[in-house]
Amino acid sequence: MHTRTLGQDLEVSAIGLGCMGMSQSYGPNPGDRDDMIGVLRGAVDRGITFFDTAEVYGPYVNEELVGEALASVRDQVVFATKFGWRIENSKSVGLDSRPEQIKHVADASLRRLRTDTIDLFYQHRVDPDVPIEDVAGTVGELVQAGKVRHFGLSEAGAATIRRAHAVHPVTAVQSEYSLWTRDPEPEVLPTLAELGIGFVPFSPLGKGFLTGTVDTTTAFTAGDIRTTIPRFKQDNLAANQTLVDHVATLAHTKNATPGQVALAWLLAQHPSIVPIPGTRRIARVEENAAATQLALSADERTGLDALAALVGVHGDRYNEMHMSLVDK
């Protein structure tokens, strides 16, 4: 596994691990906590050093899981976690990025992660009620106090990124990005390149669709977030199938998997892009990590881009409520 550098010289593995699914959003949670600890530790053994979590995942239990699993190798890994929600009775009930809340979350996350410093502290969603300058300034105070190393934003628009960066340097922006989610390309990615900020795509495999394992016959279990996403309705899945079929065909010619092709495409977009695919299985960790060894030619990348543009994407990537939380 080679490394990549996000903004402000934060070095991480070229592929990270999104840990959310170990605690929520993809159907019944794993019954054996030790299995998930084994996946996390196994990821380190396979060269993964970048682990993404958040207080709201669970809530709280995902940070606790990551902290417990990786305590013995803390000096080898980079922890990214997030603030920005008001949580009551173990449920998120709205956004909250007030300075006092940010500081409270930082202290609580440090305890759960069993660490003295949060490597990368993201605002999980932009809070329209709190000026981004206040958010950046507060994280800057946490950096000065030694509690946080780097500041990040999630699902932030270009104008917000510029305002935040002017107050305290932004190291990374996280948003959904993949062959079938191209929203960051017109404005966000050029802004990041200009400012020297890294980009961390979540759902780089299209929440499983780009692996070729999801189609119109797939029955999602209760509690699976994909049951709420328009893009995963049967008619939209059928319309989107052409893209994943092409990815699968290209993968076959390269003795690779569709998921590896999708990740290789992302890695080829810019050297400061670091995808964080999530999984609960060590076999998938190995498969995803191997994508760093897969080279796509310029013609292959152009072909993927052309087909994606031709086919388009049917259905929004979030339901209406979640789309309303995406900064423009």
Indicate which residues carry an active-site annotation.
57
3-state SS of the chain? CCEEEEHHHEEEECCCEECHHHCCCECCCCCCHHHHHHHHHHHHHCCCCEEECCCCCCCCHHHHHHHHHHHHHHHHCEEEEEECEEEECCEEEEECCCHHHHHHHHHHHHHHHCCCCEEEEEECCCCCCCCHHHHHHHHHHHHHCCCEEEEEEECCCHHHHHHHHHHCCEEEEEEECECCECCCCCCHHHHHHHHCCEEEEECCCHHHHHHCCCCCCCCCCCCEHHHHCHHHCHHHHHHHHHHHHHHHHHHHHCCCCHHHHHHHHHHCCCCCECCCCECCCHHHHHHHHHHHHCCCCHHHHHHHHHHHHHHCCCCCCCCHHHHCCCCC
